[in-house]
Structure 1
Amino acid sequence: MIWLVTLLACFGLICAEEPFNHNVHNGRVIGGHDSKPNTWKWQVSLQHDSYNDNYFYHICGGSIIDAFHVMTAAHCVLSMDPTEYRVVVGEYNLYEYDGSEQFIRVDRIVVHPGWNGDLASGNDIAILRLADPVYDNGYVAIANLPYPGETLPHGFTCTITGWGLIDFEGNVPTVLQEAPLDVVEHSVCSQGDWWGSVALNTMVCAGGDGIISGCQGDSGGPLSCYTNGAWRVHGVVSYGPAGMCNQYKKPTVFTRVSSFMDWMYSVSLLLHLVALDN
């Protein structure tokens, strides 16, 4: 099972490296539908320039956590050279320039120290420091986050958003997709006929109905849940089953943001202080 999970990470990132229109590659959440423009304002497209020719393409999602920082998955970091990346905020249609986008280069990358490249070991989270701040143009917003240690009850409905593949054949739409996913509590997701031992307490499982799921290209993006009077990013897309993404009893698995709040705050503060020194 661990081998299958690892295979998915590699397969997904390789598949993402195929550029199109304004230098990005996109897809969608499986079983989802077009989101309404200007709805998921904290959603980010993380883009990579692998040949240093200023030709960027979408590889992962992410979430704006403050004006200078974006949260994504550690496995989305293909290189620790920040000059190879940019983020696009205010994005909706990856095929077109909508006028709502901000294209911002990455200045620094911090991957969780517990990340070892094995998705089943967890800690699949990273923070990107931006070279310039996100400004409020009416199409962006800072994500609300959960309380430290907060968990969601079994069956609680959240929303996954992203530009991941629509199916295993690689069919793609043009705009940001969204879909509802029901949380599968850890005591269920860790059962042998679900994800078993590769589902950790520091993860959130959601889906598993065999119809709706995240897929390659959604990695790093948010699981947004309406809790305590606001939409909050409770998860970062981490992994799913190898092969067909929407498999029964194999829900999409997210890094549980509430398990990493102290680390995130310390990293943001450290990067801010480093930027002041420079």
Structure 2
Amino acid sequence: MIHLVVLLSCLGLIQATALPDLTVSNERYTGKVVGGSNAHPSMWRWQASLQYDNWNTGSFAHICGGSLISSLYVMTAAHCILDMQLRFYRVVLGDYDLYKYEGGEQPRSVSRIIMHPGWTGDLVNGNDIALLKLSSPVYGNSYTEIANFPYPDQTLPNGFTCYITGWGLLATGGTTPDILQEAPIPVVEHSVCASPGWWSTAVKKTMVCAGGDGKTSGCQGDSGGPLNCYTDGAWRVHGVVSFGPASNCNIYTKPTVFTRVSSFMDWIYSEMV
């Protein structure tokens, strides 16, 4: 799915906001995204699973993540779109364990694929973002919710803690989880991430870096999924998982790179018609 690299407001910096306690009845859901754990059920209700039917047999498999941004649209990474044949895709909202029916799932076929016009197929050129129009609206319930956006052009300070979520590999070359994973992951500001020894010129200002500690990262299968950050009193999707290092998902000074959602607000709203 990814070769060179994997996978994966008011203007200016926002102030750091204390994260709410994610414990549920003092119980932590353990397990393992790389370096993570089983997500809290119904916590990340905008998380989507993009699935592909490789042989057109009606048997779909998870390939990427996504975020529900309206009752009819899901945002994902452009590199997750393997071809433009709509019948090969479906999106599932409200899922937690991909291999169990739990009653909250809402599968939808895709009626339109909208690629960003600046997407060239080269991850380091940026614009790795796409919208999927669903065949029918998704309804909100205790399992599904529309994501909040950041402010236009909003950026995050260095070290700000966000959460990456997805069903990607638990380690490079490892296994994929049944249950949605979550992991706290610190933002790496652009001036650091674009410096020599980090991602250098591969990172643009329309991207967000997070991680790079050699412990926590996105990996194959997490692409397209959200970077969830608690800002301005709400969880907001600040990023779309785009890429990471090809040799190992969690390399020190090579953080996971996300498409920065706040850079694409005008385009997103112009396409959701």
Q: Same fold (TM over 0.5)?
A: yes
Q: Deviations over 1:38-69 (max 9, x none)?
A: 11000000001121111100000000000000
Q: Deviations over 1:200-223 (max 9, x none)?
A: 000000000000000000000000
1:50 corresponds in structure 2 to 54
Q: Deviations over 1:141-168 (max 9, x none)?
A: 0000001100001110000000000012
The answer to whether the 8 A contact 2:42-2:143 is kept is yes
Offset at residue 82 of structure 1 (A):
1.5
Q: Aligned equivalents of 1:172 and 1:257: distance in 2?
A: 26
The answer to whether the 8 A contact 1:73-1:238 is kept is yes
Matching residue's letter, 1:218 = D
1:8 corresponds in structure 2 to 5
Q: Does 1:37 align with 2:34?
A: no
Q: Does 1:93 align with 2:97?
A: yes
Q: Aligned equivalents of 1:108 and 1:37: distance in 2?
A: 30
> Which range moved further: 27-36 or 51-60?
27-36
Matching residue's letter, 1:183 = V
The 5 Å alignment of 1:1-278 reads 6-9=3-6, 29-269=33-273
SS in 2 for 1:128: strand
The answer to whether the 8 A contact 1:28-1:162 is kept is no
Offset at residue 175 of structure 1 (A):
0.4
Identity among equivalent positions (%) equals 62
SS in 2 for 1:254: strand
TM-score in terms of structure 1 length: 0.87
The answer to whether the 8 A contact 2:168-2:177 is kept is no
RMSD value, Cα:
1.4
Q: Aligned equivalents of 1:186 and 1:115: distance in 2?
A: 21
SS in 2 for 1:240: strand
Q: Deviations over 1:187-239 (max 9, x none)?
A: 00000100000010000000000000000000000000000000000000000
Matching residue's letter, 1:168 = T
SS in 2 for 1:187: helix
Structure whose residues are more often helix by fraction: 1
Q: Aligned equivalents of 1:178 and 1:259: distance in 2?
A: 24
The answer to whether the 8 A contact 1:28-1:218 is kept is no
Q: Aligned equivalents of 2:144 and 2:102: distance in 1?
A: 13
The answer to whether the 8 A contact 1:28-1:164 is kept is no
Matching residue's letter, 1:8 = V
> Which range moved further: 27-36 or 237-246?
27-36
